[in-house]
Structure 1
Amino acid sequence: MPADVLDFSDPAFVADPYAAFAAQRAAAPFVWHEGLQAHVATSHAAVSAVLRERRLGRIFAERTPTADWETFNWLHADSILDSEPPKHTRLRRLVAGAFGRGHVQRLAPRIEQLAARLLDEATDGNDTFDIIEAYAEPLPVLVIAELLGFPDLDRHLLRPWSQAIVKMYEVDRTEAQEIEAREACREFAAYVHELAAARAKSPGEDLLTDLVQIREGSDKLSERELIATAVLLLNAGHEASVNGFGNGLHSWLTTGRAPIEVTEDASVEAAVEEFLRHDSPLQLFERTATADLDLLGQELTTGQKAIALLGAANRDPDVFADPDRFDPNRTPNPHLAFGLGIHFCIGAPLARLEMQIALRTLLTRYPDVALAEAVRRPTFVLRGFEHVRVSPRG
């Protein structure tokens, strides 16, 4: 059966793709999609196979004309996300070495302070507030800025840059959005270049300093690799945390508010995993065949694409009992929201920590928080809400 029930141009499908995912999964969990010109995986097993198959690579194709897209192209070509072994192995080893110096763990008290401050500001004199704009969105930007050591006065620049760049990952972007993305890439790269040069002369106690200084023998990150890593950490980390929290909170508030014991770490951790599973922030991950291969009975030729639909995998009834039900106590919860294999999200521990602290802080202060209004973004790949307005006191 062709993947004709998956109509990525249909606003109704983009708004709620899960029934179509279920129909496609039941009919053919790995099948050719004519519109996308790719083989599409919708089951947990098929998505896992696509993500683990080493003959399917993350191959970045440069955009043209190269003079217009130069910075955008190298920011991707020199990043962990868009490279393959041996380059990917080398980059991930160096970046993981910098991450492994306790940066994530040291941030927990600071994340708690930031979350509390944002809630203070959001609820000061307000009967309702937009939890995306006032809480879920600024928190990870502030955290990543803290992680990298970006000066306080410059942190307002980061969110607009990230929002402009990530629009390039949608299938229906406009020419105006492409122009904005190219400009954001140039400005962001130039900013990180200057900041990294300053850290080389005057080191700090931040991840950017460690990325500048990290060495393994004679190997180190090139200037472009360092800049691409910093940009990726903001873009990917920001989107995963914002949309994961917003989507999950909306699911919880609209499906009966099953108890979340905020005084128990295990309960908060389980709830966050369900936030990530039930309405996944990243829906699509693309791979390209680097050789002819047979995968799950489908013949792929070199250059053909395979697409892993992560949100579909995370609603697979063969893996998750009653998969459409939001269950904050679901265990085990082997969701694929952060991917799998060599491209498993390197920032997953930080995203989880941010979301756990954000959820615990919110529900400790406002256990009766209630939904007032929600407006979903008209995007598929990065799934989230424009606005989730809540009443903090019910």
Structure 2
Amino acid sequence: MDVPFAPWSPEFVADPYPAYAELRATGRAHWYAPTRQWLIPHHADVSALLRDRRLGRTYTHRFTHEEFGREAPPAAHEPFHTLNDHGLLDLEAADHTRIRRLVSKAFTPRTVENLAPTVERLAGELVGGLVARGGGDLLAEVAEPLPVAVIAEMLGIPEEDEERGRLRPWSADICGMFELNPSEETARRAVRASVEFSDYLRELIERRRKDPGDDLISGLIGVEELTEQEMISTCVLLLNAGHEATVNTTVNGWWTLLREGVRPEPGKLSTAVEELLRYDTPLQMFERWVLDDIEIGDQVIPRGSEVALLFGSANRDPARFGPTADALDLTRADNPHITFGAGIHYCLGAPLARLELTAVFGELLRQAPGLRPAAEPRWKPGYVIRGFHELLVEV
């Protein structure tokens, strides 16, 4: 049967949720030939598989490419894969445990709490600038600058470094490789960004060796268990993963609020943020390799396969969220969404993302209570990381 899944269709990207409902109604695992993946649409299955150690973000800790029935990446893509494969997100087993333990020290509750005044100040300044101008692009003027500035501050990237302005473009080019079946041009941009970003971080690390500060890079330099490549890959991942969810939840979330004509109650802002993270999930899909045969219902999925865990579908599953799963409920109390993942790869920066989202939504509600759209936004073509080109607003 035809699978109602069309990740390269603008219409599907704009509203994938009816297709997800059809997928959930017709099975627990669907083969999708264009990407050679099994689509998993149900909340219970997605949640369980995120925790299942028979699956992994990589397979190279156990198999060669040949043993796993896969082709090695093209040699020309090597700089991207070197950067990506040494990062926390794509590591498994002992290496993942080791690096997560080291990096998690930067994301303790106290560390995040100490960042709150900086986050709130930046959010207030960015929103204040938007209001003073009478409006503008909420994405470029508020949503993007906030998390990028916070991560740059954590890493210790000096404000005077011209490369600070290239962080977001580098990140966008690298993240293009996480879309389905990326083109060769996408790969070329990702490779170039990987080389440039790595070279800059290598130079910054050398500066910090001579003149350490109280930033994350300075802290990681003294950790003997961490190689320089692991340090570079970790810093890049913190930028990439540390702002995508915040940027797209801010913009997609505000478009939802504007479209629905509702606003969160100030006293229930954190609950509303959780619902916006669920309702229009910023990362629609997460992929896993099948390291040992698994069964989903009566379907055996063999080793060497890839599963596509449909976060956007799982977060709208009536089996978990009840008959109002497709409705926006800013007071939803029981909200076990999986936007930040689960298991050993649960998003390390989730507390920071929540802090940033609460701050920016709070400032917009306070300073721009009459916020309204100035134009219909256009979706970017990407499906996995799903967001708008811009969101023009008036205040």
TM-score (ref. length: structure 2): 0.92
User: 1:312-331, CA deviations, whole angstroms, 9 ceiling, x for partnerless residues?
Assistant: 00000111131121111111
- Aligned-partner SS, 1:380: coil
- Picking from 323, 326, 329, the partner of 1:327 is 329
Whether contact under 8 Å (1:376, 1:384) holds in the other structure is yes
1:164 equivalent in structure 2? 173
Counterparts of 2:130 and 2:29 in 1: how far apart (Å)? Answer: 45
- Picking from 248, 254, 262, the partner of 2:259 is 254
Q: Does 1:313 align with 2:314?
A: yes
Structure 2 residues without counterparts, runs of 5 or longer? 60-64, 66-70
- Aligned-partner SS, 2:320: coil
The offset of 1:172, in angstroms, is: 5.3
Counterparts of 2:10 and 2:108 in 1: how far apart (Å)? Answer: 42
The offset of 1:117, in angstroms, is: 1.7
TM-score (ref. length: structure 1): 0.92
1:135 equivalent in structure 2? 142
Letter of the 1:93 counterpart: R
2:297 equivalent in structure 1? 296
Counterparts of 1:273 and 1:129 in 2: how far apart (Å)? Answer: 26
2:387 equivalent in structure 1? 384
2:196 equivalent in structure 1? 187
Q: Which moved more, 1:71-80 or 1:26-35?
A: 26-35
The offset of 1:223, in angstroms, is: 0.5
Q: Does 1:121 align with 2:129?
A: yes
- Aligned-partner SS, 1:286: strand
The offset of 1:308, in angstroms, is: 0.4
Q: Which moved more, 1:9-18 or 1:234-243?
A: 9-18
Counterparts of 2:206 and 2:198 in 1: how far apart (Å)? Answer: 12
Letter of the 1:207 counterpart: L
2:119 equivalent in structure 1? 111
Q: Which moved more, 1:39-48 or 1:364-373?
A: 364-373
The offset of 1:105, in angstroms, is: 1.9
The offset of 1:101, in angstroms, is: 8.2
The offset of 1:372, in angstroms, is: 2.3
The offset of 1:239, in angstroms, is: 0.9
Structure 1 residues without counterparts, runs of 5 or longer? none
| Higher RCO structure (Cα 8 Å, ≥6 apart) | 2
1:76 equivalent in structure 2? 84
Matches within 5 A, 1:1-394: 2=1, 4-59=3-58, 64-66=73-75, 68-100=76-108, 102-126=110-134, 128-154=135-161, 155-171=164-180, 173-214=182-223, 220-257=225-262, 259-262=263-266, 264=267, 267-321=268-322, 322-373=324-375, 374-392=377-395
Counterparts of 1:252 and 1:145 in 2: how far apart (Å)? Answer: 29
The offset of 1:139, in angstroms, is: 0.9
Whether contact under 8 Å (2:8, 2:381) holds in the other structure is no
The offset of 1:197, in angstroms, is: 2.0
Counterparts of 2:334 and 2:220 in 1: how far apart (Å)? Answer: 35
- Aligned-partner SS, 2:318: coil
Counterparts of 1:291 and 1:42 in 2: how far apart (Å)? Answer: 21
Q: Which moved more, 1:229-238 or 1:30-39?
A: 30-39
User: 1:237-291, CA deviations, whole angstroms, 9 ceiling, x for partnerless residues?
Assistant: 121110111111111111130x4222x2xx1111111111111010111111112
What percentage of aligned pairs have identical amino acids? Answer: 43
Larger % of helix: which? 2
2:68 equivalent in structure 1? none
Q: Quickly say closer, same or farther: Cα 1:101–1:282, change in 2 above 3 A.
A: closer
Counterparts of 1:57 and 1:298 in 2: how far apart (Å)? Answer: 19
Counterparts of 1:245 and 1:44 in 2: how far apart (Å)? Answer: 24
The offset of 1:13, in angstroms, is: 1.2
Q: Quickly say closer, same or farther: Cα 1:172–1:64, change in 2 above 3 A.
A: closer
Whether contact under 8 Å (1:59, 1:82) holds in the other structure is yes
Q: CA RMSD in A?
A: 1.8
- Aligned-partner SS, 2:89: coil
Whether contact under 8 Å (1:103, 1:206) holds in the other structure is no
Counterparts of 2:88 and 2:7 in 1: how far apart (Å)? Answer: 27
Letter of the 1:79 counterpart: G
Whether contact under 8 Å (1:286, 1:307) holds in the other structure is yes
Whether contact under 8 Å (1:315, 1:324) holds in the other structure is yes
The offset of 1:98, in angstroms, is: 3.6
Whether contact under 8 Å (1:165, 1:181) holds in the other structure is yes
- Aligned-partner SS, 1:209: helix
Counterparts of 1:63 and 1:346 in 2: how far apart (Å)? Answer: 29
